Structure 1
Amino acid sequence: MISIEGLSKIFHTKDQEVRAVDDLSLNIDKGEIYGVIGYSGAGKSTFIRLLNRLEDPTEGSITMDDQNLTALSKGKLRVARQEIGMIFQHFNLLWSRTVYDNISFPLEIAGVSKGDRQKRVNELIELVGLSGRGNSYPSQLSGGQKQRVGIARALANNPKVLLCDEATSALDPETTDSILDLLVDINEKLSLTIVLITHEMHVIRKICHQVAVMEQGKIVEQGDVLDVFLHPEKKVTKRFVDQVMGDPEKETSMQLIKDNYRTGEIIKLHFVGESTNQALISDISRKFELDINILHGKITQTQKGAYGTMFVQFDGEQSEIERAIEYIESTSVEVEVNPHV
């Protein structure tokens, strides 16, 4: 659906050259929710502006649905942009227009007849959950309602791709979840490809199928969201995973573990998918002569399944501890012994 090859964007200032996007390549499949995550200054916003050609790339190509966007004339690019919807962090609504008129605006520009506009706008108002608010003005709406208007407007011309630029960053957690649920619903109903940039791993965890991690203009890690949660390789990726899972190894609690649990073994368990439903600890306590202390644990859900970690202490005869570890390794649960202790 979207193929990006060697994409770069260099900005020149009076004193220096800034490479905001640096030789970036990735592929996004049709119907996928693809997340791009990075901290401030990573190049995320420049990248998404390159995708719809609000910025011209310095180097590289963007192919969308077999059409090379970087080779289009201005006239053809205007037509191509009608197949790319975009929603923004701060909504970018027209404050003097009602909800209905905001959603209708791109259809007016595209020359759609009044009757067809009315039908399409009413469909979209219902789709995004704003029935009865068509005559309201943006100043009369909550933040979440404003973003729903922004989503409806972005969908007006039946785009093939929806770009989301920090679409939930200005919202409270509960409203964020409702907007993310709406995006999942739209993705499933319309088979719409969604590219979402964010600095919040919660957003990636909740709705994305694939994720790319950006740092200093480059993609430093990418893959299936669950795989990235399980095996983050780069330091920046580990920091993002810690946003959701927490990291007792970096907290004072790990020092307490070191100080207070000096016997036996400290074990870190990784649960994935159906293994999160296993009664593993109670099973081990019945099978082996061990004292078991649960020290820390958390389970979270991704689009591809559940993922969890747990720190436990096994105290008893070393041979019995080793037998218990062998038993766990025979299941689908991953084991790490004495993690950084």
Structure 2
Amino acid sequence: MISIKGLRKVFTSENKELTAVDDLTLDIKEGEIFGVIGYSGAGKSTFIRLLNRLEEPSSGNVVIDKQEITALKANELRTARQDIGMIFQHFNLLWSRTVEDNIAFPLEIAGVPKAERVNRVQELIRLVGLSGREKAYPSQLSGGQKQRVGIARALANNPKVLLCDEATSALDPETTNAILDLLVDINQNLGLTIILITHEMHVIRKICHRVAVMEQGKIVEQGDVLEVFTHPKEKVTKKFVAQVMGSDEHDQSEELYYLIENFKKGKLIRLHFLGETTNQTLISQLAKNFPVDINILQGKITQTQAGGYGTLVIQFSGDSSEIEKAIQFIQKETSVEVEVIKDAK
């Protein structure tokens, strides 16, 4: 659906060059929600503006639905942008226009007849949950309502791609979740490809299928969200995962470090649950089948679009041979990953 090759953007100021996006290559599948995460200054907002040429690339090319965006002339680009909706962190609404007039604006530019515009606007107002607010002005709306207007406006011309530049970072957590739920509904019901830029890992966790991590203008890691959560490779990725999982870059919280240092008996085990395994009654099975004592010390679970991911730290104590049998049972009979943190023999 979207193919990006060798994309680069260099800004020049006072005879100094700043490379904001550096040789970025990426493929995004049709109908997926693809997240791009990075800290401030990573180049992610410049990247997303290069996709519809709100910023002109220094080099490289972008192909969306078999059309090379970077090769289009000005009049061709105006037409192509109708297939690329965009929503912004600070809404970018027209403050002198009502909700329905804001949504109708791109339809006016596209030359859509008035009767058709009216029907389309009402359809979009229902879709984003703004019925009854048609005549309100932006100053009369909450942050979440403003972003719903922004989403409706971005969808006005039935785009194939929706670009979201920090679309929830100006919103409170409850409103953020509501907007993310709306984006998921749009993705599923309209089959829309969504590219979402953020610095918040819980946004990636909640709605994205795949993710790319940006640092200093480059993509340093990418993959399925669940895989990135469970096996982060880069230091920056581990920091983002820690936002959600509550662990530091070495995956050892202060509590766990204390447990390790003071562990004197048996085996200290960390279990990694993926997808459907998060619903398994594993501890109950172990207690019934093996004469060992099991003490649950620490646990965390989170949900992604691809399923759940969780860790559980437990203490096994008792006969060493029975402990080994219990561990072998987990390894052979389940898909739960086992990590022995400490063996206090």
TM-score, structure 1 as length reference: 0.97
Residue number in structure 2 paired with 1:240: 240
Look up the SS of the partner of 2:124 in the other structure: helix
| Range 162-171 or range 107-116, more displaced | 107-116
Matches of 2:260 and 2:30 in 1, distance apart?
48
CA deviation digits over 1:12-53, x for unaligned, max 9? Answer: 222532111111111111111110011111110000000110
For structure 1, the 5+ residue unaligned runs are: none
Residue number in structure 2 paired with 1:70: 70
Which residue identity does 1:338 align to in structure 2?
I
Matches of 1:42 and 1:228 in 2, distance apart?
19
Matches of 2:178 and 2:35 in 1, distance apart?
18
Aligned pairs, number: 341
Residue number in structure 2 paired with 1:304: 306
Give the CA deviation at 1:340: 12
CA deviation digits over 1:221-273, x for unaligned, max 9? Answer: 11111111111111111111111111174432023202432221111111111
Matches of 1:274 and 1:154 in 2, distance apart?
36
| Structure 1 contact 28–34 (Cα < 8 Å) conserved | yes
Q: Which residue of 254, 257, 275 corresponds with 2:256?
A: 254
Look up the SS of the partner of 1:338 in the other structure: strand
Residue number in structure 2 paired with 1:336: 339
Residue number in structure 1 paired with 2:274: 272
| Structure 1 contact 268–339 (Cα < 8 Å) conserved | no
Residue number in structure 1 paired with 2:35: 35
| Structure 1 contact 296–310 (Cα < 8 Å) conserved | yes
Give the CA deviation at 1:68: 0.6
Matches of 1:96 and 1:157 in 2, distance apart?
22
Residue number in structure 1 paired with 2:207: 207
Matches of 2:216 and 2:252 in 1, distance apart?
25
Which residue identity does 2:253 align to in structure 1?
E
Matches of 1:154 and 1:233 in 2, distance apart?
35
Identity %: 70
Residue number in structure 1 paired with 2:93: 93
Look up the SS of the partner of 1:91 in the other structure: coil
Which residue identity does 2:310 align to in structure 1?
G
| Range 214-223 or range 249-258, more displaced | 249-258
CA RMSD of aligned residues (A): 1.5
Residue number in structure 2 paired with 1:171: 171
Matches of 2:276 and 2:262 in 1, distance apart?
33
Matches of 1:99 and 1:251 in 2, distance apart?
47
Look up the SS of the partner of 1:103 in the other structure: helix
The residue correspondences of 1:113-192 to structure 2 (distance < 5 A) are 113-192=113-192
For structure 2, the 5+ residue unaligned runs are: none
Matches of 2:343 and 2:72 in 1, distance apart?
54
Structure 1 residues 95 and 340, CA gap change in structure 2 (3 angstroms): farther
Look up the SS of the partner of 1:309 in the other structure: strand
Structure 1 residues 204 and 26, CA gap change in structure 2 (3 angstroms): same
Which residue identity does 1:147 align to in structure 2?
Q
Structure 1 residues 163 and 230, CA gap change in structure 2 (3 angstroms): same
Give the CA deviation at 1:289: 2.2
Matches of 1:109 and 1:227 in 2, distance apart?
43
CA deviation digits over 1:258-292, x for unaligned, max 9? Answer: 24322211111111111111111121122222221
| Structure 2 contact 33–207 (Cα < 8 Å) conserved | yes
Look up the SS of the partner of 2:78 in the other structure: helix
Which residue identity does 1:187 align to in structure 2?
N
Look up the SS of the partner of 1:323 in the other structure: helix
Look up the SS of the partner of 2:62 in the other structure: strand
Give the CA deviation at 1:339: 7.1
Which residue identity does 1:336 align to in structure 2?
E
Structure 1 residues 235 and 339, CA gap change in structure 2 (3 angstroms): farther
Matches of 1:201 and 1:321 in 2, distance apart?
37
Residue number in structure 2 paired with 1:230: 230
Residue number in structure 2 paired with 1:295: 297
| Structure 1 contact 41–216 (Cα < 8 Å) conserved | yes
1:284 aligns to 2:286 (yes or no): yes
CA deviation digits over 1:83-135, x for unaligned, max 9? Answer: 11000011111111100110011111111111111010000000000001000
Matches of 1:340 and 1:13 in 2, distance apart?
58
| Range 132-141 or range 322-331, more displaced | 322-331
Which residue identity does 2:19 align to in structure 1?
R
Structure 1 residues 131 and 271, CA gap change in structure 2 (3 angstroms): same
